[in-house]
Amino acid sequence: MNSSIVERLRRAGHLDRIFVDGEWVLPETPARSAVIDPSTEEPVAEIALGSARDVAEAVVAARRAFATWSVSSAPSRALLLDRIHALILERAELFAQAISLEMGAAIGFARLTQVPSAAEHIRVARDNARTYPFVTHRGDMALVREAIGVCGLITPWNWPLYQITAKVGAALAAGCTVVLKPSELSPLSALLFAEVVHDAGLPPGVFNLVNGSGTEVGAALAEHPDVDMISFTGSTRAGVLVAQAAAPTVKRVAQELGGKSPNVILPDADLSVAVPKGVAAAFRNVGQSCSAPTRMIVPRARLPEVERLALEAASAFVVGDPRSQQTTHGPVANRAQFNRVQEMIGIGMAEGAQLLCGGLGRPEGLDRGFYCRPTIFSAVHSQMQIAQEEIFGPVLAIIPYDSVDEAVEIANDTVYGLGAHVQGQDLAAARAVAARIRSGQVHINYPAWNPDAPFGGYKRSGNGREYGIEGFEEYLETKAILGFQDASAPSSN
């Protein structure tokens, strides 16, 4: 199936093209980039890379389309989003196979989580378009929420389709037009998404896709004077560069950046539940999630029991071929990430953290591919690099505490503030701790994922929000029209 996905895209000519103004067109330059299967380290496809000139053409198309799309009715936009949602579900297996191939997700995880969660973002955007009050009144004043304009969307390789739909769905629902730059490391699902948008009947120029590097295409989007907003998901380092490039044109910049999320296990928590679920959450997507709870903060008196339960949980993981139904964890997504994980494991060992399991190198029996050993350190303290730096791989740090106040202090003792978890049987106490954590999201006792929950960070984890109504509102401007003496409103979209 994986090879047939590449062959499908090749036969359609879409590997060689970008999508601009409703058409698959050849980019201005012949630059190419290999797509690497992280399970074999071998190239499986090549994609065409766009340039700053291609970005300029896409922005022209998006600006032209904005004139009509921004004043289209919200129900008509919702209808098109409904078609996109249906086509993603109809082609779910294609997307799952593509994601598994391009970034190494275990096929079961791609099918059960990566693709359905991505579809949910489109559903939420559709529902917001249907119900959102674009015009409200306050006395003789009308408050109008209008589409901000042309949006440059820059998405990462770790949740390739999920991050695309989170941004594109909200932007389209708001009446914006977009130019998408997906990661050149995981571009296959983005090409399949462009096919979906085309087949759903979106008007030309409303959605455009330009593959390319961050230094070329990403920078061109951020700098472009006719791009009104940049939405970026990626590392904090890259986010700073995007914001700097965008600053001279004073465009809106929404950033979802790095994280080092705490999981505070309170003294009354049921460890038999809290620890295994915490390990699973930390290693979800092989730890390649910016909100992964990779710092498990636990009562010192209960540390031996925590360690035993954590080891039991990790021992159930099956690391291997992402195409196998038995595999729970595939490789990390690329060579740079593999090297980063190995480096940080080595640093943890050198810092004197207690290695409970895992360590350097590949798991036994795997001699190629970007496979990492699921690694758990204990007796970690906050000054260690492995407790401060985002590793973005299957590495968990267990940090003991002596009081709840100290646990909160540890939880807040990083430059990040994206996600957090609190576990405890006394809900009032758990809520009190959650209120003290400086983080954009806090999960108490592992609730189900909620696509309506706004997601974004404090501190160096970014600014702005994604998902739900708050994520949708990032793509809107506020206009106050004064002088209305009755309840009549200007025409609403």
346 C-beta neighbours (distance < 10 Å), count: 12
440's tokens: 């954009």
Percent of the chain that is helix, strand, coil (3-state, to 5): 45, 20, 35
Terminal alpha carbon distance of the chain: 43
Strands (E), 173-329: 177-181, 207-209, 229-233, 252-256, 262-265, 295-299
Write down the pLDDT at residue 472. 98
Alpha-helical segments (H) within 151-214? 160-174, 188-200
Token pair 């951020």: residue: 222
452's tokens: 């309506």
Where does CATH 3.40.309.10 sit in the chain? 262-444
Output the CA angle 194-197-201, nearest 5 degrees: 140
Residue 483, classed as helix, strand or coil, is coil
Write down the pLDDT at residue 1. 57
Write out residues in the chain with pLDDT < 70, as ranges: 1-3, 485-493
- CA–CA separation, 34 and 172 (whole Å): 30
Report which secondary-structure segment, H or E, holds 311.
Answer: helix 303-315
- CA–CA separation, 351 and 67 (whole Å): 58
- Contacts of range 133-138, beta carbons closer than 8 Å, 24 or more positions apart: 134/74, 134/492, 134/493, 135/489, 135/490, 135/492, 137/484, 137/487, 137/489
- CA–CA separation, 437 and 51 (whole Å): 42
Is it true that domain 2-257+461-480 has CATH number 3.40.605.10? yes
Residue 384, classed as helix, strand or coil, is coil
Write down the pLDDT at residue 490. 53
Q: How far is CA 176 from the centre of its chain?
A: 20
Where does CATH 3.40.605.10 sit in the chain? 2-257+461-480
Q: Are 220 and 55 in contact (CB under 8 A)?
A: yes
Token pair 């047939």: residue: 4
Q: 126-163: per-residue pLDDT in tens?
A: 999 999 999 999 999 999 999 999 999 999 999 999 99
Write down the pLDDT at residue 315. 97
Nearby residues of 334 by Cβ (< 8 Å), 6 or more positions away: 36, 38, 103, 157, 185, 370
Q: 461-480: per-residue pLDDT in tens?
A: 999 999 999 999 999 999 99
290's tokens: 């910016």
Radius of gyration of the chain (CA): 23
User: Which has the closest alpha carbon to 42: 335, 365, 329?
Assistant: 335
Q: How far is CA 66 from the centre of its chain?
A: 26
- CA–CA separation, 107 and 117 (whole Å): 15
Q: Which amino acid is at 176?
A: C
292 C-beta neighbours (distance < 10 Å), count: 27
Write down the pLDDT at residue 252. 97
User: Which has the closest alpha carbon to 278: 420, 383, 404, 454?
Assistant: 420
Residue 161, classed as helix, strand or coil, is helix
Catalytic machinery residues: 256, 290
Write down the pLDDT at residue 484. 74
Indicate the pairing of strand 252-256 with strand 262-265: unpaired
Q: Are 177 and 479 in contact (CB under 8 A)?
A: no
- CA–CA separation, 286 and 276 (whole Å): 15
Residue 343, classed as helix, strand or coil, is helix
Name the CATH superfamily housing domain 262-444: Aldehyde Dehydrogenase; Chain A, domain 2 (3.40.309.10)
Output the CA angle 76-77-79, nearest 5 degrees: 65
